[in-house]
Structure 1
Amino acid sequence: MRDSIRLRTRARLAYTACRRTRCSRGSLRELSAVAVLITALSSACENPLAPELCGAVADQVVPAGGAVSVRVCFNDENGDGVSLASRTSDGTVATVTVRGRVVTVTGVRGGTATVTVTARDPGGLSATVSFGVIVPGIVRLTDRHGLMPAWSPDGTRIAFLGRVPETGDTGDGSIFVMNADGSGVKRLTKSISAVAPPAWSPDGTRIVFTTRDFEIYVVNADGSGEANLTNNADWDVYPAWSPDGTRIAFVSDRDDDIEIYVMNADGSGTTNLSNSHGRDDWPAWSPDGSRITFTSRRGDDIDIYVMNADGSGVTNLTNNPALDLWPAWSPDGGRIAFRSGIPFSADIQVINADGSGATNVTNNPEYVYGSVPRWSPDGTRIAFTSADRNNTEIHVVNADGSGEATLTSTAGTVFGDHAWSPDGRTIAFSSNHSSSGFHVYVVDVSFFGKAAKRATR
């Protein structure tokens, strides 16, 4: 305090003396500036201010084995430089390091933790900010080869494609069912080889799938009643149950063109719905069963189309030069998500069911978004896979494009489809992360929508 008073007094005396001796205007300006600086410095000495946070830090979702970097900003009104230090509330869940203004959080295992960052100035004054860290828990369900899991409608079981030798046969491409916790594994099919994802009937009593011979089969959930529904020499794939379980849409080339067909659940009454000269793929029923959306190549473009369930009212929804694939209805039937772009650069888009309001919900040129987008049961989020140069991972994003989070860091490949549990708390997927090949896993996503815990002071 005394030093600051002396500095100001000397500055005033020097300024007054200079005026009396008629110093040059330049000297007066320099002395005036020095006086202002000294006054500011002395004020800072008398009223030291702690560092101040520029803005809150959002909670972070970090996959186990992955890392997320966050830039943290503090200002110091006194002009002092600040140094940052960090700590985590639980190092078994996530670790944290800091370099300059960048804080890096690494996921260790499933759970939650709080990261606290402290900014300290040379005078010892400090400020802190805390943010939550969520590491999604991942559980391996199978101890055998497993691909393309599908949840039963009641969420108690998971069907999947397995390859396990049993009693002298190869077990190649069999349909298996297990409980949601991985117990009670049962092989349903033995005489045929399945190659595509199983799909549960809406009442959970039957499972439809495609065989290596490109036939569509159905089997009861207990393994009985195996039946060939298509039974012809042509290519029949991609079966999709109608919401009421009475019909199955599928893709076939039986009329020389690749078309969307529908048949009754017992295989009778096969009808060509799309009936075009293009290639029509990937049918998906609207939640009320009144419409079917699909991918079609008519001319030079591949677009998303929709038609009534009887094949009438065919409409091109996207009508653009991009490669539009794999449409998926929102649970309320009001929107359709799909992959749009070119083979090695694509995003997930959402449009209204009439084709209006196209919006990118992803925008990351480093990734190739390469799977069917899957809506959460409540319609608020979309799960999808993406691939960089090394790995394929699962991501989740809010339906408006905000809050994208990476759920996995497998150092491998997430293969085929992924599936939300009916309660929206987990996503089942298959990956070759383990050295023993592909297995079925579930990742916890129950943390979405929970209130974020932040502490700033």
Structure 2
Amino acid sequence: MAGRVVLIGEDRQVHLIDSDGGRPQALTVDWSKQLMASRWGEPAPPSTAWIWPVWSPDGVWVAAFEIPYDDDAAGPAQLQLLSTDGVRQVALFTLTDEAPLYAAWSPDGSRLAVLTQPTDGSLNLHHVAVDRPGVSRVLEQGAPLFFSWAPEGQQISVHVGGRRAGRVIVRDALGDGADLTPSASPGLYCAPIWIGGRLVFVESQSGLRGVVLSANADGSDPREVARLVGLAAITPAFDGERLLLGVAQDGEGGAYDTVRLIHLSSGEDVLVNDEPCLAFFWSAARQSLLYVRVDRDRGHLSWHERRVGAPPRALCRFIPTREMLFHLHYFDQLSLTHPLVSADGATLVFAGTLVEDYADPSGGPQIYALDLDGEEGPRPLAAGAYACVCPR
């Protein structure tokens, strides 16, 4: 069965489409482009665009940011909720003097965490509840800032600041409970994650050395998972028991030299990939790693797949869109909420231009779907800038 995909089209509006290309549906319309949008003699409504759509956990809603689009347009951005039946639209949160970055639904779908950037260059993490449009509260401020929702959907873990002044806190999103501080000296990594009800994070040691720990939300009962040297990326294997650990030994945001699959309880540690990669994603349904490599000489990226103990399989070469490249740079944060691989493991979705099509001056970036079990290459779904698949 084809999965549902949300995308930002070439018209900068929000669209839905099946991963096989069926049932295309526009969720938003730029009314400034419609001839009958305004009364005779009245100015047309301002042009708006949409960015960073994200599915609700149940697939019933899409949250996305609506932003001014005209060159001379000024005004606030809004986080809107769009029902996937096309009937309802709710203005949930208005941003004033802040640029929207991305939003993440809580696991129960009742609230969202919204990351924004004020004019001073710092970062703000806001909390908004679906049943209280227009009401928000700031959960944390600072830079850099990464976060993840706890499984029950009320607490949120936040990694804020660098190694010297950073910390990991667990905060009650509703403001009812006291803060917990499982780590006051975080290591080189981005987002803490939750696995089996425990928080997993990287603690700094000396220099580029760090240790991956699993602990209770308050930091009690810490258990060593792995030791490393360099920059770490940790993502769940989505089975409640294992995680993926990527390590870039230079510690400066270079390629991840290795990716390992580690079982938290048994300690089983298996090397999955030893090819340097920019980003990696685990498919629980396929029990395989999807990863992106960089060809700096030719100026493109490439998708690959690898199973434990098997050789890598090259999938395709592409030039990413700006939004796609952002996703790949922050994959360990965005893979928690903006999946690129369908839940059944059948389809990979990405945005860009295939290398073999890049010389065509008439073509623009496309949203591609790649059948991971098939022999054919990626098929274009629509012209566009960004897409992610429904988590259900």
1:18-64 Cα deviation digits (max 9, x unpaired):
xxxxxxxxxxxxxxxxxxxxxxxxxxxxxxxxxxxxxxxxxxxxxxx
Q: What residue is the counterpart of 2:385 in the other structure?
A: none
Counterparts of 2:50 and 2:292 in 1: how far apart (Å)?
18
Structure 1 segment 16-55 matched on structure 2, within 5 A: none
Are 1:205 and 2:110 counterparts?
yes
- TM-score normalized by structure 1? 0.54
Match of 2:133 among 213, 224, 227: 224
Quote the offset at 1:346 in angstroms. Answer: 1.7
Counterparts of 2:291 and 2:85 in 1: how far apart (Å)?
23
Counterparts of 1:152 and 1:183 in 2: how far apart (Å)?
16
Quote the offset at 1:331 in angstroms. Answer: 2.1
Are 1:260 and 2:161 counterparts?
no
SS of aligned partner of 1:310: coil
The answer to whether the Cα contact below 8 Å between 1:278 and 1:299 also exists between their aligned partners in 2 is no
Match of 2:200 among 293, 296, 303: 293
The answer to whether the Cα contact below 8 Å between 2:305 and 2:312 also exists between their aligned partners in 1 is yes
The answer to whether the Cα contact below 8 Å between 1:251 and 1:261 also exists between their aligned partners in 2 is yes
1:395-416 Cα deviation digits (max 9, x unpaired):
4433x25374455533235321
Larger % of strand: which?
2
Q: What residue is the counterpart of 2:217 in the other structure?
A: 309
The answer to whether the Cα contact below 8 Å between 1:155 and 1:423 also exists between their aligned partners in 2 is no
* Residue 423 to residue 196, structure 1, CA distance change in 2 (3 Å): farther
Quote the offset at 1:297 in angstroms. Answer: 2.9
Q: Which has the larger Rg?
A: 1
Q: Which stretch of the first structure deviates more once superposed, 210-219 or 346-355? A: 346-355
Q: What residue is the counterpart of 2:179 in the other structure?
A: 270
Counterparts of 2:317 and 2:49 in 1: how far apart (Å)?
20
Are 1:238 and 2:146 counterparts?
yes
* Residue 332 to residue 298, structure 1, CA distance change in 2 (3 Å): same
Structure 1 segment 375-390 matched on structure 2, within 5 A: 375-378=282-285, 380-389=287-296, 390=299
The answer to whether the Cα contact below 8 Å between 1:209 and 1:239 also exists between their aligned partners in 2 is no
Structure 1 segment 98-137 matched on structure 2, within 5 A: none
1:125-165 Cα deviation digits (max 9, x unpaired):
xxxxxxxxxxx968999999766554321234444566552
The answer to whether the Cα contact below 8 Å between 2:244 and 2:259 also exists between their aligned partners in 1 is yes
The answer to whether the Cα contact below 8 Å between 1:145 and 1:439 also exists between their aligned partners in 2 is no
Counterparts of 1:186 and 1:431 in 2: how far apart (Å)?
30
Counterparts of 2:281 and 2:320 in 1: how far apart (Å)?
21
The answer to whether the Cα contact below 8 Å between 1:187 and 1:223 also exists between their aligned partners in 2 is no
Q: What residue is the counterpart of 1:360 in the other structure?
A: 271
Counterparts of 2:165 and 2:219 in 1: how far apart (Å)?
16
- TM-score normalized by structure 2? 0.61
What are the ranges of 5 or more consecutive residues in structure 2 without an aligned counterpart?
A: 1-18, 30-47, 375-392
Q: Which stretch of the first structure deviates more once superposed, 311-320 or 271-280? A: 271-280
* Residue 353 to residue 189, structure 1, CA distance change in 2 (3 Å): same
Quote the offset at 1:330 in angstroms. Answer: 1.9
Counterparts of 1:345 and 1:151 in 2: how far apart (Å)?
28
Q: How many residues align?
A: 303
Q: Aligned letter for 1:238?
A: F
Match of 1:329 among 231, 236, 242: 236
